Every structure is written in C-alpha cells, then in structure tokens.
C-alpha cells in the first residue's frame, strides 16, 4: 500500500483583482484626477495639508524643478531626511520623471553616507539640514570632496529648496507628460540599502511595478479607500513608510498623515486623535511605547479600525493589547524584506484573533511562497521548518551594480531566498522561527553582524570580534559583541566601545552589550558557534524574561 505524498510547504496567492500595469506617476495622477478634493497629505506638526489636487500640482512643480536642474531618466537622486512632507513630494516627483530615488537612512553617519553616495552614483542629494543629534549639512560638507558624482545638494527648509521648486512652477507641463509617457513600469525607480553581510550595505533596486503593486495590495487587504486616514510614524526611508504607507494610500485613494519627523508616542497618539485616523502603523517597539505612555488614556482613539505591525517579530501579548486597548480590531501583521518590496505574507481581516496575533499570515495576492531545505533546495512538507522563499511581482530587480550578490539571493527560477526560517501550517499560515543568516532585527532596523564586526576590528585594542543578537523586551533584539583583546590592551568597557563607535556608526548599530572573552565557542571545523554564544549571553546578561516572549 503506497502512502499519499506529503502536502508541500508551498502556497500561491490567488486574486480576482489584477495587478496594476501603471507607473507610480500615472497611478498617482489617476487618483488625483478621480478625487481632487480628498485630503492626500497632512503634516501634523506644521499644520500643512494638501488635497489630492493640490498635491499633484506641488509634485509636478518639484518634478519640473528637477528637470530644470538637469536630471534625466535613470539618474540617481539621494534623499536624506526624516519624515517631512518634502520627502513624499520628492518620492512622487522622481517617479514621474524616471529618476531613481535612493533612500538614505536618517541615522547614517559619514562613513555610511559616503559609501552610498559613491556606490549609487548619486548626482543630486536632497537633505534636511539636521535631525536629532545629526548635523547633516556638516556631514555632507565633510564627504562631498570624496564624491565626484555629487554635483548638487538641496537642503530642505532653506533657499535651496525654493530655488529647486520655483522654476518648476512655470515649467512646461507638456515636457513632464512626455517624460512620464517615456517610462516603463519595469524601470528601476528606487534603491534601498540593506545592511551588508560583507561590511557594506547592498542597494536593493526596485521597479515601479514592484513597489506600486505591493503598496496597492497591502492597502487593499487593509480595506483602504478615500475615507481612510493612515497615521505613518514609521520612517519613509524604509519600505514600511514609503510603500506600505505612502503608496498604499495613493493607490487606494487614502490620506497620508505624518505625525512627526521621528517617532514620538505622544505625537503619534495626538495625530490619530486630531486627524481621526482609521489606521496606525508601527514596529512593535512603537506600539509598546504608545500603550505604556502615561497619557495614553487621555487620547480619543475611537476612529482607529486597522493598522499594520511589522518590521520585527511581533509579540503576541502586544498584538492583543493593540486590539483591546487601541480598538484596532482589524490590525494586520505583515512579513517581508526590502528585497521583496517588502510584503510577502499578511494576516487578513477575517482571520481568527489567534491567527492574527500568532502568525505572520499567508501569502499575498499574486505571490508565491515556499519553505525549502536550505541544503537541497527541495520543498519541505508542511509543518517542517526550513528557509522561506518568495517569488512574484515583488522580487527586486537586483542589488545595484552587484550581480554576484544578486545571484546569491535570487535563484535561476527567480525565487528570493530570504534567509529566514519559516514553518507553514496545513492552512498555509506561516510562522518565522529564526534566521539562517545571522541578521539581527533591532526595532525594525536590519543589522548584519559582519558589518559591525568589520568596524570593531578597527579598534586598536580588539583582536577579534563576533556580534550576535540577544533578546530584548523593547526592541525585539539588541546587539551583543563578544571580543578578544590584544596582548597588553587596557580593560574594554561598553562605554569605551560606544565612544569609539559614536559618530562613525548609526546609533542602532552600536552594541548595547560588550563581553570580553578569552575565546569563542567553536565547532570542530573551526566555525564560531553563534547559537551557543546567544544562549550563553542570555544567561550571563540575565535576559531570560526577554527570551521567553512569544512572537508571531
């Protein structure tokens, strides 16, 4: 008697709604022409607001200003700023003229800024003058002599910005239409840098088709329409803000609400109340901060219906509180990665509460996912853990100017290998249980230990360094560095490491814990056992409670 074959860990997302064949600019225009009087963008701190009709006029002025500045299709424009309205204007303006927008993390320091400017060949940089403790203007001045492609810097909120936009207000609308018509949905339009396993970030290159459809489908699964107002405290430089936030809104006709330049729990709760937001986004850390704010009870959040929690493993208890205390009964968990535009799986409104709080949902429309044996590449039976892979419209074009790195991540059949360990159940729902690669996700920020290790090697007292992620109740994970010291080196403390890294590394890449050891745990073949290091660190640092938190 032969047994029936096991059901494979494979699922494809069916949909009666077709993919969009538009460019981002054309799709935006369609929405603006259909509902010119609906609110499109609200910047709460400044009180600035635009209807769709007004926003289209402003976007076109910025686009024609960029044309007047000499930008051509395929040129790269960098944007280095926190969440401000100008970020959104530049996002849509570049898309209209085929200029590739390069997102630069607001936390970057000079070392990272210079690398990205050179690697992407950025010719124009639009930047804030400063944000938090970062003096952007000074940092740009410092690296500019080393960046030969950079010919123009436009600082937001200064006469630079007005000088860029003013020529566009009297520009030739026919020229803009011609440039728009010359674009293909498959053209690259966005580069987002993900921390690099080899010491430097890689530029995930995304097309109109990639990110427009991902935003559209994520928004559709949240039920968005013109009556929805989405509070976006997550950063625009990340797919969460600019795709799941901005593009989900404009492709579904909803309103983008900016609660502040950077995340602040009170400002976010205030924006939800003032603008009667129906949806709120955040990584788990943000929701925890809002729920624990002493003034939480003072805000009227009754307008909230839905929202998205993503970017980090989502603690089950936090999800339950978001549903119960914030009234977000239709809240959704999304899972994905920058290289997949970003969302591959999402929970649905009609999923049971247990499914919505304890899984990352099932495959999105028009996408495929499978769980494979990392060694053989063969699809595993359902219920068995393996590497999660995804395929479809969302998979990036590749890493900018790095074909070898692209080939390591996307196989010949166009499956993106995520490096995450997933388990698919009988109904097609997924749980993420760990990572094959040792990437650390700290509060929604992807950090590759190798990048930090390479940096720590430059410290005069450090002989060798290994960086791991350890559990953290607030950020999901924190960085812990195990280091061995050179002979005769002085005692090394966390404070000394922080001092050495401050100003050179983004704050979220600086290890919270530093452990000086004589040697690292090794396998017989000489490989460092990071799993064992993590287990030991949990005990040595007293992180058992954080390690016990259950995530989707």
Query: Do 467 and 334 reside in the same domain of the chain?
Result: no
With 80 as the cut, is the pLDDT of residue 55 above it?
yes
User: Which carries the bigger pLDDT value, residue 67 or residue 197?
Assistant: 67
Q: Mean per-residue pLDDT for 345-354? A: 93
The band of 312, judged by pLDDT with boundaries at 50, 70 and 90, is: confident
- pLDDT at position 199 is 61
With 80 as the cut, is the pLDDT of residue 313 above it?
no
User: Which carries the bigger pLDDT value, residue 463 or residue 203?
Assistant: 203
Dist. CA 105–CA 246, nearest whole Å:
17
Query: Do 412 and 449 reside in the same domain of the chain?
Result: no
Query: Do 209 and 167 reside in the same domain of the chain?
Result: yes
Dist. CA 208–CA 249, nearest whole Å:
15
3-class state of residue 456 by DSSP: helix
Does residue 453 belong to any structural domain of this protein?
yes
Query: Do 456 and 418 reside in the same domain of the chain?
Result: no
Q: Mean per-residue pLDDT for 350-372? A: 93
pLDDT tens digits, one per residue of 116-129: 999 999 999 999 99
**Half-sphere exposure (Cβ direction) of 226: Cα atoms closer than 13 Å:** 10
Does residue 94 belong to any structural domain of this protein?
yes
Dist. CA 542–CA 177, nearest whole Å:
61
Q: Mean per-residue pLDDT for 488-504? A: 90
Query: Do 446 and 387 reside in the same domain of the chain?
Result: no
Average pLDDT, the chain: 94
Dist. CA 501–CA 509, nearest whole Å:
9
Q: Mean per-residue pLDDT for 448-468? A: 86
- Chain center to CA of 332: 16
Q: What is the DSSP letter of 2?
A: P
Query: Do 33 and 85 reside in the same domain of the chain?
Result: yes
Residue ending a domain, among 422, 453, 485, is 422
Question: Picking from 77-81, 121-125, 196-200, 501-505, which range would have the lowest pLDDT averaged per residue?
Answer: 196-200
Q: Mean per-residue pLDDT for 15-21? A: 97
With 90 as the cut, is the pLDDT of residue 213 above it?
yes
Q: Mean per-residue pLDDT for 492-508? A: 91
Count the neighbouring beta carbons within 10 Å of the beta carbon of residue 337.
Answer: 23
pLDDT tens digits, one per residue of 230-270: 999 999 999 999 999 999 999 999 999 999 999 999 999 99
With 80 as the cut, is the pLDDT of residue 434 above it?
no
Q: Mean per-residue pLDDT for 285-296? A: 92
Q: What is the DSSP letter of 315?
A: B
* Pick from 200, 189, 127, 115: nearest CA to 164: 127
Length of the chain measured in residues: 552
With 60 as the cut, is the pLDDT of residue 196 above it?
no
Could you identify the residue written with the tokens 């309103």?
255
With 90 as the cut, is the pLDDT of residue 449 above it?
no
The band of 197, judged by pLDDT with boundaries at 50, 70 and 90, is: very low
Does residue 5 belong to any structural domain of this protein?
no
Q: Are 415 and 406 in contact (CB under 8 A)?
A: no
Residue ending a domain, among 370, 396, 422, is 422
- pLDDT at position 527 is 66
Task: Give DSSP secondary structure letters for 398-422.
Answer: EETT-HHHHHHHB-TT--EEEEEEE
- The alpha carbon dihedral of 90, 119, 233, 250 has a sign of positive
- pLDDT at position 523 is 62
Could you identify the residue written with the tokens 């901005």?
246
With 70 as the cut, is the pLDDT of residue 524 above it?
no
pLDDT tens digits, one per residue of 100-155: 999 999 989 999 999 999 999 999 999 999 999 999 999 999 999 999 999 999 99
Dist. CA 102–CA 85, nearest whole Å:
17
Count structural domains, the chain.
2
SS3 helix, strand, coil % of the chain, rounded to 5? 35, 25, 40
Range of the structural domain that residue 481 is part of? 440-547
Q: Are 293 and 456 in contact (CB under 8 A)?
A: no
Query: Do 480 and 417 reside in the same domain of the chain?
Result: no
Query: Do 89 and 133 reside in the same domain of the chain?
Result: yes
The band of 526, judged by pLDDT with boundaries at 50, 70 and 90, is: low
Query: Do 239 and 115 reside in the same domain of the chain?
Result: yes
Query: Do 394 and 468 reside in the same domain of the chain?
Result: no
Residue 434: strand pairing partners = 421
Dist. CA 419–CA 424, nearest whole Å:
15
- pLDDT at position 298 is 98
Which pair of structure tokens corresponds to residue 344? Answer: 């591959």
CATH number of the domain at 500, please: 3.30.300.30
Question: Picking from 20-29, 69-78, 512-521, which range would have the lowest pLDDT averaged per residue?
Answer: 512-521
Task: Give DSSP secondary structure letters for 530-546.
Answer: HHHHHHHHHHHTT-HHH
CATH number of the domain at 118, please: 3.40.50.12780
Query: Do 379 and 408 reside in the same domain of the chain?
Result: yes
CA angle 211-213-216, nearest 5°? Answer: 105
Task: Give DSSP secondary structure letters for 186-240.
Answer: TSEEEEEEE--TTSS-EEEEEEHHHHHHHHHHHHHHTT--TT-EEE--S-TTSHI
* Pick from 92, 112, 82: nearest CA to 24: 92
Does residue 194 belong to any structural domain of this protein?
yes
Does residue 15 belong to any structural domain of this protein?
no
Q: Is the peptide bond before 506 cis (omega within 30 degrees of 0)?
A: no
Dist. CA 529–CA 523, nearest whole Å:
6
Query: Do 135 and 261 reside in the same domain of the chain?
Result: yes
With 60 as the cut, is the pLDDT of residue 525 above it?
no
pLDDT tens digits, one per residue of 363-391: 999 999 999 998 899 999 999 989 999 99
């Amino acid at each position: 008697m032969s047994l029936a074959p096991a059901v494979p860990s494979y699922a494809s997302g069916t949909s009666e709604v077709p993919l969009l064949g538009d460019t981002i600019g054309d799709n935006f225009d369609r929405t603006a022409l259909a509902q010119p009087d609906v609110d499109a963008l609200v910047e709460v701190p400044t009180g600035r607001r635009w209807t769709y009709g007004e926003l289209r006029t402003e976007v076109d002025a910025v686009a024609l200003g960029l044309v007047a500045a000499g930008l051509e299709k395929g040129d790269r424009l960098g944007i280095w700023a926190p969440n401000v309205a100008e970020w959104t204007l530049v996002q849509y303006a570049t898309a209209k003229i085929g200029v590739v927008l390069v997102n630069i993390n607001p936390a970057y320091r000079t070392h990272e800024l210079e690398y990205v400017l050179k690697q992407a060949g950025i010719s124009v940089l639009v930047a804030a003058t400063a944000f938090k403790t970062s003096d952007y203007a000074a940092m740009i001045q410092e690296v500019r002599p080393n960046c030969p492609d950079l010919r123009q810097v436009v600082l937001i909120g200064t006469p630079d910005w007005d000088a860029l936009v003013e020529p566009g207000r009297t520009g030739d609308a026919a020229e803009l239409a011609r440039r728009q018509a010359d674009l293909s949905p498959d053209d690259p339009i966005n580069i987002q840098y993900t921390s690099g396993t080899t010491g430097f970030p890689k530029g995930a290159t995304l097309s109109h088709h990639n990110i427009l459809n991902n935003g559209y489908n994520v928004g559709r699964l949240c039920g968005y329409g013109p009556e929805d107002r989405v509070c976006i405290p997550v950063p625009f430089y990340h797919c969460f803000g600019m795709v799941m936030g901005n593009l989900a809104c404009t492709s579904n006709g909803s309103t983008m609400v900016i609660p502040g330049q950077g995340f602040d729990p009170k400002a976010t709760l205030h924006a939800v109340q003032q603008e009667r937001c129906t949806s709120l986004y955040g990584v788990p850390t943000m929701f925890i901060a809002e729920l624990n704010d002493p003034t939480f009870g003072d805000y009227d959040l009754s307008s909230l219906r839905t929202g998205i929690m993503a970017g980090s493993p989502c603690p089950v208890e936090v999800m339950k509180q978001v549903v119960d205390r914030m009234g977000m009964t239709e809240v959704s968990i999304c899972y994905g990665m920058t290289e997949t535009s970003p969302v591959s799986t999402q929970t649905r409104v009609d999923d049971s509460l247990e499914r919505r709080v304890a899984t990352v949902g099932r495959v999105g429309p028009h996408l495929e996912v499978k769980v494979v044996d990392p060694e053989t590449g063969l699809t595993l039976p359902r219920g068995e853990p393996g590497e999660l892979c995804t395929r479809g419209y969302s998979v990036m074009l590749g890493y900018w100017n790095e074909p070898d790195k692209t080939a390591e991540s996307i196989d010949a059949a166009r499956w993106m290998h995520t490096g995450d360990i997933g388990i698919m159940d009988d109904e097609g729902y997924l749980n993420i249980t760990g990572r094959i690669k040792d990437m650390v996700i700290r509060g929604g920020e992807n950090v590759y230990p190798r990048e930090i290790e390479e940096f720590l090697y430059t410290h005069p007292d450090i002989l060798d360094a290994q960086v791991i992620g350890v559990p953290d109740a607030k950020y999901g994970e924190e960085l812990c560095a195990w280091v061995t010291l050179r002979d005769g080196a002085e005692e090394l403390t966390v404070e000394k490491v922080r001092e050495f890294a401050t100003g050179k590394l983004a704050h979220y890449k600086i290890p919270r814990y530093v452990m000086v050891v004589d040697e690292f745990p090794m396998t017989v073949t000489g490989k460092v056992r990071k799993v064992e290091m993590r287990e030991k660190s949990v005990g040595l640092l007293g992180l058992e409670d954080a390690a016990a938190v259950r995530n989707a």
